[in-house]
Amino acid sequence: MKSQTLASLSNLSCRHALAWGGVITGVLCWSMPNPALSASVAEDLIAQTRPLVIGHRGFPQFAPENTLPSFHLAKIAGADLIELDYHVTRDGAMIVCHDGTVDRTTDATKRWGGSNLRIADKTLAELRELDAGSWFHPPYPNTHLPTLEEALEEIQNGNVTLIERKAGSAAQCLELLRKKKLINAVVIQSFDWDYIADCHRLAPEQVLGVLGPTRLKDWNPTEEEKVLSPRWLDEAKKRGALLAVWNQNVTRTAVAYAHQIGLKVWVYTINDSATADKLLDMGVDGIITNNTSLIWRTMALRTRR
């Protein structure tokens, strides 16, 4: 009974949030072109002068992260892009999941026993058996780990994917994008800046983002050096990135420098209005969030200042 009540309350808040998102998105976006209708979607999108709202792993506030229902909700809430993470299975398939293991977001430990069950040790067929929706509250029945291809089909039907590579080669990802005619209809990002440099070499037209802070071959940054700085931005540009995607450790000066050299700055993962406001004041170009509706609301309220 108690869980039923909680489930309906949660659904109520979900509907409330999505209604807010829908209204605000409508107010803010009515005059903007639908990027999905343009030939170079990703380029057009990042060229926008307003900040973008990016659904982190879909809409994980109200649906199990990195699943098709989560991506669908983020679309309804009006995200400009929808972020996902992918790994590679033992038999070489690209599958969507944040962690390198399936313990946290599926029923794998209950089903198979043990722990630390790595995606890289399992086949696609094995991983597809897993239930990726029952751990969530309220549960999402019949929800599985999507392949990267399935996720792209869901998101690109009206939206733009921000693909984060956790494992796998640039060539494999680009081959899928070429097959599906999605080069530059998506954005690719990674904490592995060599992977981004490989993407740039193989598909120079593809819009790319470097995630940071990270560790580079010849630079293991100290705590102070982890703040976004001209040095990071110059390194990002050398690798062909158009976006520096950073945690909250950014400054107004660094954002201004990024703009001066033709880069945009997106920040992750921002789930409260006060932090979003502070970062928007610094001039960031995109907010990656678990709650797309909340960030839209924050942006709408700023127009009344």
Q: Is 165 in the site for ligand G3P (CB under 6 A)?
A: no
In the chain, count H helices and then E strands.
Answer: 12, 9
Q: Which does 192 bind (CB under 5 to 8 A by kind): ligand G3P, Ca ion, none?
A: none
Q: Indicate the residue among 80 and 164 with the shorter CB distance to Ca ion.
A: 164
| Residue 267: CB minimum distance to ligand G3P, A | 9
Maximum CA extent, the chain: 58
Site for ligand G3P in 190-219 (CB under 6 A): 211
Residue from 56, 122, 144, 264 touching ligand G3P (CB under 6 A): that is 56
| Residue 176: CB minimum distance to ligand G3P, A | 20
Q: Is 85 in the site for Ca ion (CB under 5 A)?
A: yes
Q: What is the 3-state secondary structure (H, E, C) of 131-190?
A: CCCCCCCCCCCCCCCCEHHHHHHHHHCCCCEEEEECCCCHHHHHHHHHHCCCCCCCEEEE
Alpha-carbon distance values, 62 to 24, 26, 67 (Å)? 18, 21, 11
Q: Is 65 in the site for Ca ion (CB under 5 A)?
A: no
Q: Where are the beta strands (DSSP E) in 158-278?
A: 161-165, 187-190, 208-211, 243-246, 264-267
Nearest residue to ligand G3P by CB is 268
Q: Is 85 in the site for ligand G3P (CB under 6 A)?
A: yes
Residue from 62, 193, 268, 296 touching ligand G3P (CB under 6 A): that is 268
Options 1-9, 162-170, 223-231, 253-261: segment touching Ca ion (CB under 5 A): 162-170
Q: Which does 268 bind (CB under 5 to 8 A by kind): ligand G3P, Ca ion, none?
A: ligand G3P
Give, for 55, the enclosing helix (H) or strand (E).
strand 52-55
Collapse the DSSP code of 246 into the 3-class scheme (helix H, G, I; strand E, B; otherwise coil) and give the result.
strand
Q: Is 87 in the site for ligand G3P (CB under 6 A)?
A: no
Contacts to ligand G3P by CB under 6 A: 56, 83, 85, 98, 164, 211, 245, 268-269, 288
